[in-house]
């Protein structure tokens, strides 16, 4: 597991971390409607990477404890998740500060990867 950061200057390095990736955890700031299009474009280009084909996709909607944040439906439409057919995905609302739903999200990632992989 690694956090490669979301700053534009770091994005060119993301591809260095894709080898043997079974899951991608994508964190969206649920209060930032202005950047959802940029977020969709970055996610879309990542999902085209051959080394990420078939990886589980967990979208953490962070800051959902803040009033006026985007709904799951708004985030799903903003990221065009319904168009993604190459990856199993789910959206989970969370608060990184409070720790809300982080364990549930990681449990989903582990279970989804387990369901796809052959275990000996």
The Cα–Cα gap between 105 and 43 comes to: 18
- Determine if residue 9 is labeled as part of a ligand binding site: no
Active-site hit among 7, 80, 103, 111: 7
Yes or no: say if 26 and 59 are a contact pair by the CB < 8 Å rule: yes
Please check if 78 is assigned to a binding site.
Answer: no
Does 16 belong to an annotated binding site? Answer: no
- Which 8-state DSSP code applies to residue 120? -
Q: Answer yes or no: 7 catalytic.
A: yes
Consult the annotation and say whether 63 binds a ligand: yes
Contact 4, 17 (CB under 8 A): yes
Write 79-82 long-range contacts (CB < 8 A, 24+).
79/28, 79/36, 79/39, 79/40, 79/43, 80/40, 80/44
2 is in an annotated binding site: no
- Which residues are part of a known binding site? 6, 62-65
Q: Which residues are annotated as catalytic?
A: 7
- Which residues are part of a known binding site for GTP? 6, 62-65
């Amino acid at each position: 597991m690694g956090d490669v950061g979301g700053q534009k200057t770091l994005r060119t390095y993301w591809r260095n971390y894709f080898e043997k990736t079974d899951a991608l955890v994508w964190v969206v700031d649920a209060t930032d409607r202005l950047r959802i299009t940029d977020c969709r474009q970055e996610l879309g280009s990542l999902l085209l990477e051959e080394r990420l084909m078939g990886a589980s996709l967990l979208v953490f909607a962070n800051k959902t404890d803040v009033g006026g944040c985007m709904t799951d439906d708004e985030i799903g439409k903003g990221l065009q998740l319904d168009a993604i057919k190459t990856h199993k995905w789910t959206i989970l609302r969370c608060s990184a500060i409070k720790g809300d739903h982080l364990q549930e999200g990681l449990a989903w990632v582990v279970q989804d990867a387990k369901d796809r992989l052959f275990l000996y």
